[in-house]
Structure 1
Amino acid sequence: MNNLAQERKYRKIITALSIVIPVAVAALFGVNLRDLGYNVAPLTFLPPIYASINGLTAILLIAAVIAIKKGNKKLHEQFNTSAIFCSVIFLLMYIAYHMTSDSTKFGGEGTIKYIYYFILITHIVLSIIVIPFVLTTFLRAKLGNFENHKKIAKITFPIWLYVAVTGVIVYLMISPYYV
């Protein structure tokens, strides 16, 4: 089976994951286990951890670009695989936090409030959009389709980096309002 046929085979999985992940996150975001009567402790210690994981993801993505520019494909692959792993860990922690803790409201006023919501909204929208890009970019590399991998990576990298960096910024902006 050639690379194009293999990619078509996996395209359905990528499409399914690109839909299921945001829908599941949105659905679980509205579920608080404590409100449902479960005796679980709020996981209020998680936000600084998952914000740090976002920061680590950004560093890994930059390191991956540096590695490939130096011709080190193996290190490039390791950095990107680690960035995907970090993104999955972030997502699991984010869901766990929101399923056990009350949402925190941003308390800033004036211009900073609009800046915060602009960053937050673009972060959320791009975090959904980047899912199929990351999966397709990764798949093309795994299948050895490096020409098409490189083309999509030029789109994936800045979006994914923006999501990782703005995740940290959103945390820093809202952290004074955590209870």
Structure 2
Amino acid sequence: MNTPIEKKYNKWIIFLSILIPVAVALLFVIKLKDLGIDAKPLPFLPPIYATINGITAVLLIIAVWAIKNGKVQLHQNLMKGAIGCSLMFLLMYIAYHMTTPSTKFGGEGVIRSVYFFILITHILLSIAIIPLVLVTYVRAIAERFDKHRKIARITFPLWLYVAITGVVVYLMISPYYIY
């Protein structure tokens, strides 16, 4: 049974879990110039948002260490920081892809297969992680710590994978960016 706090946020979790992936998918079909908006490309953003992904991974690892060592306030602050970093990443990613043509991976052979495996798992798990992070967070603010811990055991490794593979995808495709 959900608490009033959980009920309050359930609609937002569902809404955002659908809106964000749909908005990101549309980025690859619609560019601002297609809407008659003259926007300059933002080629400087990928290394910034890749760095933010790396910071997210570090924050997640330290947050788990903090909670395992009874540092609840530090854990809470680090998790808010990780969510904030993920939000900054999302905004920059959207801005980049709305203004800048997509870059094609130029590697060949085995490395191409490795790249696409990492990219596809990264994309699929980044979609799945949205409701997981939101539900995990809401359970914490609702003080449903038994349920929070249960879902956090699933959320943490998936979110960490998405954060790390975001950096890996950037490093693998960065030689092919046209500036």
TM tier relative to shorter chain: over 0.9
Alignment partners' CA distance in 2, 1:38 and 1:96: 13
Gapped regions of structure 1 (runs ≥ 5): none
Aligned length: 178
2:139 aligns with: 140
In 2, are the aligned partners of 1:127 and 1:163 still within 8 Å (CA)? Answer: yes
> Do structure 1's residue 8 and structure 2's residue 7 form an aligned pair?
yes
In 1, are the aligned partners of 2:3 and 2:142 still within 8 Å (CA)? Answer: no
1:103 aligns with: 102
1:78-93 matched pairs, under 5 angstroms = 78-93=77-92
2:60 aligns with: 61
Alignment partners' CA distance in 1, 2:174 and 2:59: 24
Secondary structure in 1 matching 2:33: coil
Alignment partners' CA distance in 1, 2:118 and 2:173: 12
Alignment partners' CA distance in 1, 2:111 and 2:36: 37
Alignment partners' CA distance in 2, 1:88 and 1:29: 19
Q: Deviations over 1:88-109 (max 9, x none)?
A: 1100100100111110000000
Alignment partners' CA distance in 1, 2:35 and 2:20: 23
1:30 aligns with: 29
In 2, are the aligned partners of 1:29 and 1:95 still within 8 Å (CA)? Answer: no
Q: Deviations over 1:24-43 (max 9, x none)?
A: 11123322223444332110
Alignment partners' CA distance in 1, 2:120 and 2:148: 28
> Do structure 1's residue 121 and structure 2's residue 123 form an aligned pair?
no
| Aligned alpha-carbon RMSD (Å) | 1.4
1:150 aligns with: 149
Aligned-pair identity in percent equals 64
Alignment partners' CA distance in 2, 1:139 and 1:114: 38
Deviates more, 1:19-28 or 1:50-59: 19-28
Alignment partners' CA distance in 1, 2:139 and 2:31: 38
Q: Deviations over 1:25-72 (max 9, x none)?
A: 112332222344433211000000000000000000001001101100
User: What's the CA shift for 1:15?
Assistant: 1.1
User: What's the CA shift for 1:17?
Assistant: 1.1
Alignment partners' CA distance in 2, 1:117 and 1:89: 25
